[in-house]
Amino acid sequence: MLYTVKEGLLLYRDKLVVPNSPDIKKQILTEFHTSHMGGHAGILRTIARIQAQFYWKNMRQDIKEYVQQCLICQQAKTSNSVPAGLLQPLPIPDQVWEDVAMDFITGLPNSFGFSVIMVVIDRLTKYSHFVAQKTEYTSRTVAEAFMSHIVKLHGIPKSIVSDRDKVFTSSFWQHLFKLQGTSLAMSTAYHPQTDGQSEALNKCLEMYLRCFTFQNPKAWYKLLPMAEYWYNTAHHTSAGMTPFKALYGREAPTLIRYGANAADTPTIRDYLLQRDAILDQLKSNLRRAQQIMKSNADKKRKEAEFKEGDMVLVRLQPYRQHSAALRKNKKLSMRYFGPFKVLAKVGTVAYKLELPISAKIHPVFHISQLKEFKGGADEPYIPL
């Protein structure tokens, strides 16, 4: 039976059926997308998180429209573009936490004495840890943090993928991990994309913090634990599952549960077999994702065309926002501003916009700095 009733609640395949009420749906969408737990995730991750507990007709389309029209997402997230050159994916590890990637997010505003985030990611499961560091971090403090937060939970990795940061090239760091039988896989000179996993994670983490702290950037430290939980329980398209499930063989306990059944406790053997099957599926999904990325890496994308009267968002990063209103913390500033109306097309690749009188920048922008604004969001407008 697809529909069942348990404890007075209507379930569809053990998912709570949501009444056809716009207010109730809006409340669920807000909780699972714009809250700290939702993390302003993308369409697929938001769908996966909501579908795990709820059901209503056409819910995927409703979620897609809500995420696309979220003004905070449109302004805070950077646009993904295909880089030049062929991709060179690293080999997929055989075991969890035997190959890790590490990087640092620097330039953050001081928050409770910290201004740097050390990011460590398991290259197989994508499970990650975020560790705050002080501005003047050293090879010794980083090594101590790695032992305290990573080694105590997962052991010593066989290899670490990193870029050419001064911390990783220091003699102390090299000596410490040489004693543990660990080698540093340095990225090729002028090709930091070798460490693509941590760079992609950094973008997600910065987006999360930007969405929730752009009005109070110095509060980012308090959000790190929730950011780590959000990332590790969010669905990853390339893996086909959440990092939590990839590592532990099950999903993380949810805050809301409906229709829980008192099933028999699985045997240890069944659990291990299930765990191996999950890892095999994970590796298969990652290989397929790598093949797709490699085949699409050199494909060109058609540039967008805007018409007079269209509403667009403007990316000010090339100007470093010096000519606009002064931003105290550039790292957590919004990436896009607006929306603004297109007044006219200038030449073949530029557009003149209707900017506010207070704006101190030229109103003509290259098309690469613009993106379509999707209306319907009720979040507050972020001015220049």
Q: 235 or 254: which carries more pLDDT confidence?
A: 235
Distance CA 341, CA 76 (A): 19
Mean of pLDDT values over 307-311 = 91
- The residue among 102, 97, 100 whose CA lies nearest residue 155 is 97
pLDDT of 7: 86
Give the mean pLDDT of the chain.
Answer: 78
More confident: 99 or 159: 99
Whole-number pLDDT of residue 320: 42
Radius of gyration of the chain (CA): 23
Q: Give me the pLDDT at residue 83, please.
A: 36
Residue-level pLDDT at 140: 80
Confidence of residue 212 (pLDDT cuts 50, 70, 90): confident
Lowest mean pLDDT among 123-127, 223-227, 358-362: 358-362
Sheet arrangement for strand 311-315: 364-366, 350-354, 336-346, 311-315, 370-372
What 3 state SS string does 77-145 have?
A: CCCCCCCCCCCCCCCCCCCCCCEEEEEEECCCCCECCECEEEEEEECCCCCEEEEEECCCCCHHHHHHH
- Residue 86: pLDDT band with limits 50, 70, 90: very low
Report whether 295 contacts 184 (CB < 8 A).
Answer: no
Please answer whether residues 197 and 293 qualify as being in contact, where contact means their C-beta atoms are separated by less than 8 angstroms: no
What's the mean pLDDT in 45-60? Answer: 94
Quickly state the pLDDT bin for 136 (edges 50, 70, 90).
confident
What share of the chain in percent tops pLDDT 90?
Answer: 28
How far is the CA of 209 from the CAs of 39, 49, 202, in angstroms?
A: 9, 19, 11
Burial of 61 (0-12, 13-18, 19+ CB in 10 A): exposed
Question: Band of the pLDDT at 238, cuts 50, 70, 90?
Answer: confident
Asked whether residue 174 carries a pLDDT value surpassing 60, the answer given is yes
Answer whether residue 226 shows pLDDT above 70: yes
At residue 76, the pLDDT reads: 84
Q: Measured between alpha carbons, how far is residue 28 from residues 3, 7, 35, 147, 227 in Å?
A: 21, 21, 10, 40, 20
- Secondary structure letter of residue 147 according to DSSP: I
Residue range 3-37, pLDDT digits in tens: 899 888 999 988 999 999 999 999 999 999 999 88
Average pLDDT over residues 57-82: 85
Residues of the chain with CATH 3.30.420.10: 99-248
Higher pLDDT, 259 or 84: 259
Bridge partners, 65 (sequence order):
none
Contact between 39 and 205 under an 8 Å Cβ cutoff? The reply is no
Q: Which of 307, 292, 384 is nearest to 351 (CA)?
A: 307
The residues with which 311 forms a beta bridge, in sequence order, are 341
Which range (18-27, 107-116, 138-147, 243-252) has the least confidence? Answer: 138-147
Strands of the chain, DSSP E: 3-6, 9-12, 15-17, 54-55, 99-105, 116-122, 128-133, 159-162, 183-186, 311-315, 336-346, 350-354, 364-366, 370-372
Strand partners, 99: 159
Closest CA to 226 of 34, 30, 49, 37: 37
**CA gap 287, 277 in Å, rounded:** 15
Structure tokens at 54: 């709820």
Assess whether pLDDT exceeds 50 at residue 120: yes
pLDDT of residue 88: 52
Of the candidate ranges 81-85, 250-254, 293-297, the one whose mean pLDDT is the lowest: 81-85
pLDDT tens-digit series, residues 329-378 = 667 777 888 899 999 888 777 888 998 888 777 788 878 788 888 875 45
Q: What is the dihedral sign for C-alpha 184, 122, 279, 240?
A: negative
In CATH terms, 99-248 corresponds, of 3.30.70.260, 3.30.70.3270, 3.30.420.10, 3.30.470.30, to: 3.30.420.10
43, two tokens? 């369409």
Q: Which CATH number applies to 3-76?
A: 1.10.340.70
pTM for the model = 0.61
Given pLDDT bands bounded at 50, 70 and 90, which one contains residue 114?
Answer: very high
Tokens representing 243 are 């990092």
- CA angle, corner 222, sides to 217 and 223, nearest 5? 80
On the question of pLDDT at 102 being above 70, the answer is yes
Q: Is the pLDDT of residue 2 over 60?
A: yes
Which residues of the chain are in CATH 1.10.340.70 domains? 3-76
Residue 362 is predicted with a pLDDT of 75
Reported residue count of the chain is: 384
Determine the Cα–Cα distance for residues 50 and 156; give it in Å rounded to an integer: 36
Q: Say if CB 55 and CB 18 are below 8 A apart.
A: yes
